[in-house]
Chains A and B, each alone.
Chain A
Amino acid sequence: MGELLTPDAGLIFWTIVTFLCLVAVLKFAAWGPLLHAVEAREARIQADRDAAERARAEAERIQKELEARMAGVQAESKELLAAATKDGEALRAKLKAEAEADAQAVKDKTFAELAVEKNKLVAELRKEVATLSVLAAEKLMRNSVDEDVQKSVLAGFFKDLDAAKANRN
């Protein structure tokens, strides 16, 4: 077994030469193309990753922009809604006031008409009552009374009646 440990310069020489030749051959024949392919693939992956990063950043920017725009739109719509509500309230109040004014006018007009009608009816009723009273008095007295006298008597009668009514009130 001592032979195994005997230095063999020839074997050392051949090993070094073989190994260095192998380094040179493999560098050009194998490692160059293999590593270039790997580096190209890594560069492609890096480029894809960069593009994806850029796309993500762009998407995030667009999303933020949309969110900001959406917030603006929401604020604007809220403002518009508030303004519309305010306008509606004002319009309602105005319409209500107009309706109330109209209703009051109709009511006043109706009351006025009713008062005129009432006065007219009262006057007609007075006249009718007077006529009937005179007729009744005529029949009672069985004699005719001068028309001017009738009028003066009736005027006195109604005067007394109004005075009595005023005293009651």
Chain B
Amino acid sequence: MNFEHILAHHLVDRKFSHHIIARLPFLGAVDLGLSPLIVTMWIACAISVLALTFAARSQSAAARRARAIFEPAALFVRDDILEPIFGRHASFYLPYFLTLFFFLLTCNLLGLVPTMSGVTANPNVTAAMALCTFGLIQFAGIKEQGLVSYVVHIVPGGVPWWLWPLLFVIEVFGMFAKCISLCIRLFANMLAGHVVSLAFLCMIFIFAAMNKAAGLGMTVPAVGLALFIYVMDVLVSFLQAYIFTFLTALFVGGAVHPH
């Protein structure tokens, strides 16, 4: 019984097939083969599209009930996250942030469903999301300020000229650091729930390996603790979706309003 193997079995994404389309200098071979994680991500997308489109377009009673759930969440993203940061630009970026919030939330929650893969518990997925944030920061900065003004305003105003190159490098690294922190925060938080749940469940087998009665006695507390962590994971799913969305808005807002 190897705990690491169990974790790897649950968390590592293994491709169904390999379709190498290119060999890049730093990344090596780019394998676009599908994997359970990609399929889970698509399922999350399908659920998001179906549920949100149904809620937005249908006039049935069920759609009204669904709207009563989604609308407050969408208004929360608009009124409490975007408008204080973006002001009059909020409506342009709203679809991106709403999609980001609901996509992350669906992926987080879907990762808690048995047999489904934890999409956001994979660093490649969170890195991709952070890359999207990085891209949006550049896009928003250049769109709102213009390329030259954006590059100039990367360094805060009032800095002595001889410090400017040093601060420019630091600020650019800071920009990357922000995105890396986004990536690691989401990945680590979502992974931790899976790891702790599995650790509690593995305690049953570890104790059973020592003594069968001890293993049996460990069942109830281990399952209880695993369920507690599971409930915590549901809360963490909402919280991390909100934090990722909020921080992305904050970073993009910093590029839109440099002062």
Contact = CB atoms under 8 A, between A and B. Distances in A.
A59 B20 CA distance: 76
B80 interface: no
Interface residues of B, number: 50
Contacts of B70: 34
Interface string B152-191: 0000000000000000000000000000000000000000
Contacts of A8: 13, 31, 124
A11 B37 CA distance: 8
Interface in B113-147: 122-125, 127-129, 131-132
B217 to A, nearest CB: 29
B71 A14 contact: no
Interface stretch (B40-48, B205-213, B251-259): B40-48
Nearest to B70: A34
Contacts of B15: 10
A156 interface: no
A7 B95 contact: no
A3 to B, nearest CB: 5
Q: Taking chain A's interface residues, is the majority helix, strand, or loop, or is none over half, making it mixed? A: helix
B125 A35 contact: no
Contact of A38 (B24, B41, B71, B100): B71
Nearest to B31: A10
Interface in B66-81: 67, 70-71, 74-75
Interface string B77-96: 00000000000000000111
Q: Which of A3, A27, A33, A35 has the most CB of B within 10 A?
A: A35
Contact of B122 (A1, A4, A10, A22): A4
Q: Which of A4, A25, A30 has the most CB of B within 10 A?
A: A30
Contact of A9 (B30, B102, B122): B30
B48 A22 contact: yes
Given A1-B12, A25-B49, 15 more contacts: A1-B4, A1-B11, A4-B11, A16-B128, A18-B41, A19-B103, A22-B45, A23-B99, A26-B48, A26-B49, A27-B99, A30-B49, A30-B52, A31-B74, A38-B75
